[in-house]
Structures are given as C-alpha cells and as structure tokens.
Amino acid sequence: MTSTIAAQSTPVGRGAIAIIRLSGPDSEKILKSCFKPLSGKKMTASHLTLGTLEAGEIKDRAMAVLFKAPKSYTGEDMAEIHVHGSQEIATKTLQFLLKNGARLAESGEFTRRAFLSGKIGLNEAEAVGDLINARSTAQINAAYSALSGATSEEIRGIYAGLLDVISSFDAAVDYPEEDVEEMLESEALEKIKELEGRLIRLARSYEEGAKIKSGIRVAIIGEPNAGKSSLMNRLLGRDRAIVTAVPGTTRDTLEETFEHKGMLFVLVDTAGLHETSDVVESEGIRRARAELDSADIILRLAESGKSRPDITGKLIIDVSSKSDIAKGDGLNVSSVSGEGIEELKDLMFETASSGQVYGGGVVLTSERSYSLTLRALSSIKDAIDEMERASLVDLSIIYLKEAARSVGEIIGASAGEDTLNAIFSKFCVGK
Ligand code: GDP
C-alpha cells in the first residue's frame, strides 16, 4: 500500500504564504480533516478553494486544492494547502498532517513518484531539479527545454528504434529457415546508422548545452590601437579594460561575462597582434594567439583602411571600429557613439545559435544522460562494425541490446534503485 506523504514545498522561513503538499491515496481524507471550504463553497478537483484551516491548536484562513489521480504532478491523489506564511503556521499544519496519516516526504519524493507513475521521464525529473537550482537565464532556458518534452521524445524515439531492430533480429535468429536474413540485414544496418546519427547529434547537443551554461567565448582580436579595449568596455556597459592611445597597453588577456538575450558570453580582450621586442608584450601576444584556439567566436577588429589579422576557421565576425571617424567593411561599430553595438550583440547571439545542431528545443543537459549517450554510441559502433565486418547478427544483437539498455536508462526505462537514489537525493524535501 502506497503511503501518503507530506512536506512544506516553499522555503522554510517567513513569507507571504507557505504551501504544504500531500500526495498519496489518503490525500483527500487528510486534507478534509483540517480544511473546510467557506460556507456556500464546494471543493472541486483542480480548483483552488478558500476556506478555514483548523490544525490542532491553530486556525488560519487558507486556500486549498485537491488533485485527483492521475491528473496531478505525481499522478496520485494530491492536495496543496496555502497558509499564511508564518513558519509557525506552516510547521503546525505539517505536524497535524503527519499526526493524521501522512508521513514526511523524503528529498525529491514527489518528483520520484511522478517518475515512478510514468508522468515524467528520468531525464525530465533531472530537468526539474536543474530548473529549481538554475542561477542564470541560460540555465533556466536549457532546463526548460529538457523539461518541455522534445528531448524526451527524441530519446524515446531512439529507444523505440533500437528495440525495433532488436526484435526483428531476434525474429531472424529464431526463424533462420525463413531466409529473410540478408534483406533484413541491409535494411537494419541502414536503420542502425540512422540511430547512430541521432545519438551523435544528441551528444553534441549536450556539448553545446554545456557551452551555453558556461558561456560562449568571444575573443576580440586586432592590431594595437584598433579599439579592442574600448569595444570590450562598450559591450560590457562598464569600464573594465584600460583604454589609452598608447599602443600595447593590454598586455594580457582580460575576460568578463555579460548576458544578451539570455545567452551568457565570455568576452576576452587580447593584446594587439603585431611584431614586438618587448618581452611582456610578446607573452601577451602569445596568449592572444592561444585564445584563437579556445574562443568559440572571434571578433576581427580593424579601423577603416587598416588590415585585419589573418585568421581562418572558427566563427569569425569582421568588425570595423571607430565608425564615427570613418566607415569600413563588415559591421561598423563605434565605441564612442554606440553605433552598431546592439547589432553586434545580436550578431554574436545569432552566430552562437547558428552552430547548434538541434532546433526545436532538443538539448541534453545532464551529465548522466550524456555519458549514457556516449556509452550507447560506443555499443552501436561495435554493432555496426560486427555487421560490416562479419555480418554476425547474433553478436551485433548483444551490442544493440547494450545500446538500448543505455538509452533506456536515460529516460529511466532501465534505471536501477541506486541511480534513482542518486538523482532524487539531490532534491529538496517538498519537491
Ligand atoms: P586597443 O589597443 O585595440 O585595445 O584600443 P583602445 O580601445 O585602447 O583604443 C585606442 C585608441 O582609440 C584610444 O585613444 C581610444 O580612445 C580610441 N578609440 C577606440 N574606439 C574608438 C571609437 O569608436 N571612436 C573613436 N573616435 N575613437 C576610439
């Protein structure tokens, strides 16, 4: 028999309101033992109702809502009580619920129940945790994408595809006399390669997602006095880099972050690229060159009429500085008048977004899912090798089953108790 759990879902402390939740078969009975709708009002499922709370020695004017299974977060009967946010009221209410048939929920138990009842996949449960712990707009957006279903749908699709191939292989092994094997193999190989491609894209979406979380690295590169430090300050909206008319002032790379349209950028000002005998400046130039490798986007900056550093590869945006004095090619910006600055930020955003392999919100955000994807990929590669090399269906089935197990574990289709404990213990009580 499933127990009914209760917990305070809002932070402990004083607030305008506090919310205490119940989930499990006795939710309705326990709620009704302490909450009565105001006269003339009736409790209807999924509707917030005003009423009176009487929990032992305390009383409050409160709101409550009842959700009937399966139409609730956990998929079970659930109730929420919204009390006035004195911690004393919240604590006393919870104590009352615990005395009247509920037990205190463990960390993440509500979400764990949502997963166990099939309401959400394991990867979505993790996204809920990420959303609660998010500290930047980019993290919120990434977690929301993982939660919004497109990612799970893609993973489920890959999982179903793998099971499909496995079952047709199983059939071929069971009925060899049917002589369908050869045709089946070439078809299956094609299908497996298609699934491999989808897994590769999934893995890349994590690498991108991680980059979005940690920030897109943008290096400003140009000759001394091109206006790099001024541009950095203008993009940041504050003075960070030292600006002088003396060439070679920036002797080391300098980095600062800013957000644009919810995307985090790490802006890197570098020493001007030119020939010099100054030891300190040479070291700065060496670091600027190293930055060319680690940056995701390079802003190639030059005044009108001056040459740009010769760099290829990478995502490069050509920018002409000091447009208030003279216009050049590429995007014209002026750190003095502000011309082109917003356009440059938009272009950086678009350039960073254009490299993304997935549209439609498919993005893998958890490290666990990523490593399982990599594991599935390695198994699928073994299966393909086996088929191409020796056409050994029996062996490739073993590898395909391994791959399916790994993909299944991402959504929780084959996750063990240890995995669940590791994931849900990171949640707070009440979620
Ligand atoms: P860096 O060596 O490439 O970092 O260049 P700085 O940002 O230090 O700028 C070099 C000189 O150009 C300074 O005297 C700046 O005041 C001037 N400067 C930079 N950007 C602009 C601009 O957009 N317009 C004008 N008129 N002067 C600028």
Q: In this structure, which residue's CA is closest to atom 25 in ligand 1?
A: 322
Output the DSSP codes for 326-378: ---SSEE--TTT-TTHHHHHHHHHHHHHHT-S--TT-----HHHHHHHHHHHH
Determine the pLDDT at residue 357: 47
* 389-427 residue pLDDT tens: 876 667 788 999 999 999 999 988 877 777 778 778 777
**Burial class for 140, CB neighbours closer than 10 Å (0-12, 13-18, 19+):** middle
Q: What does 31-45 look like in DSSP terms, one character per residue?
A: HHTTEEEPTT----T
| pLDDT tens-digit readout, 153-204 | 899 999 999 998 888 877 766 666 555 555 577 888 899 999 999 999 999 8
In angstroms, what is the span from residue 312 Cα to ligand 1's centroid? 25
Cα 284 to ligand 1 centre (Å): 19
Residues 60 and 153 in one domain: no
Q: What is the CATH number of the domain that holds 228?
A: 3.40.50.300
Are both 151 and 97 inside the same structural domain? no
176 and 281 assigned to the same domain: no
Taking CA atoms only, the protein residue closest to ligand 1 atom 10 is: 225
Q: Does residue 349 sit in the same domain as residue 250?
A: yes
Run of H or E residues at 185: helix 181-214
Exposure of 389 in the CB half-sphere (CA atoms within 13 A): 8
Lining ligand 1 with CB less than 6 A are 222, 224-230, 243-245, 249-250, 272, 321-322, 324-325, 334-336
In a domain, 36, yes or no: yes
Q: Are residues 328 and 342 located together in one domain of the fold?
A: yes
Q: Do 84 and 96 lie in a common domain? A: yes
Q: Count other Cβ atoms within 10 Å, centred on residue 275.
A: 6
- For residue 112, being part of any structural domain is answered with no
Nearest Cα neighbor of 223 from 320, 329, 348 is 320
225 alpha carbon – ligand 1 mean position (Å): 6
Let me know if residue 25 belongs to a domain: yes
**Together in a domain, 80 and 128:** no
Please report whether residue 180 resides in a domain. Answer: yes
Name the residue at shortest CA distance from atom 6 of ligand 1.
Answer: 227
Domain that holds residue 275: 215-353
In 33-149, which ranges are continuous DSSP H helix?
A: 87-99, 109-116, 122-133, 137-147
Residue of higher predicted confidence among 423 and 41: 41
- CATH number of the domain residue 54 falls in: 3.30.1360.120
CATH number of the structural domain spanning residue 188:
1.20.120.430
Q: Is residue 11 part of a domain?
A: yes
Q: What's the rounded Cα separation, in Å, for the pair 244 and 239?
A: 12
Ligand 1 center from residue 230 Cα (angstroms): 6
For the chain, the first-to-last Cα distance in angstroms comes to 22
- For 177, residues 6+ apart whose C-beta sits below 8 A from its C-beta are none
pTM for this model (two decimals): 0.65
Q: Backbone phi, then psi, for 368, in 5-degree steps?
A: -60, -50
Instruction: Looking at the structure, tell me whether residues 231 and 327 fall in a common domain.
Output: yes
Question: How many domains does one find in the chain?
Answer: 3
Residue 360 lies in a domain: no
Cβ of 63: how many Cβ atoms within 10 Å?
17
Give the relative orientation of helices 181-214 and 393-411 as an angle to the nearest 10 degrees.
30
pLDDT (tens digit per residue) in 238-296: 777 666 666 556 656 788 888 888 778 999 888 777 666 676 667 777 777 777 888 88
Mean pLDDT of 349-369: 74
230 and 341 belong to one structural domain: yes
Cα 80 versus chain centre, distance: 28
Distance 171 CA to ligand 1 centre (A): 72
**Within a domain: 358:** no
